[in-house]
Amino acid sequence: MDFGDYTLSTIAPQTLGYEVMGTVGECSLEATGSMLFSAQGYCQDGIVYLSITEDWQPAGGTMTCEDTQIPFEAPGFKAIHNGPYNNGEEFLLTNDPQGYTVMREFLGGSGYHTWTLTSDIGTVPLLPDGK
């Protein structure tokens, strides 16, 4: 994917915590880890196109089988999300304080995750007022 010069990007990779919970046969597991993410892209005609990189670090926790706790580590996972047309995930610029949300299947397992783009930039007139 070639965006040319990126006009939008995260200042540095950001970190979010995550939890893994589930079952394996008769055992249950719980683990926590962190995910590093960054985004870069551009804005055109009121649409922000972002290539989003997620780097899920391994999660450490415990697996419990018949009251016995066993240390457990879930493997990490890295994905780059470029949207359905390979030009970036598409977010509409909106005045809604809730922003604009995109939902995609989680590529590292089952379920979904979402990204929400919010903006606090006020409206800019196309023509200077009174000139």
Q: How much is the pLDDT for 53?
A: 94
pTM above 0.85, yes or no: no
Q: How much is the pLDDT for 3?
A: 47
Q: How much is the pLDDT for 19?
A: 92
Q: How much is the pLDDT for 93?
A: 84
Q: How much is the pLDDT for 28?
A: 93
Q: How much is the pLDDT for 87?
A: 92
Q: Which uninterrupted H or E stretch holds 16?
A: strand 14-24
Q: How far is CA 53 from CA 13, 78, 87, 94, in A?
A: 9, 8, 14, 23
- pLDDT tens series, the chain, 131 aa: 444 444 788 888 999 999 988 888 999 999 999 999 999 999 888 889 999 999 999 999 999 999 899 998 989 989 899 998 999 999 998 888 899 999 988 766 677 878 898 877 666 666 666 55
Number of C-alpha atoms within 13 angstroms, CB side, residue 89? 20
Q: How much is the pLDDT for 44?
A: 86
Q: How much is the pLDDT for 46?
A: 83
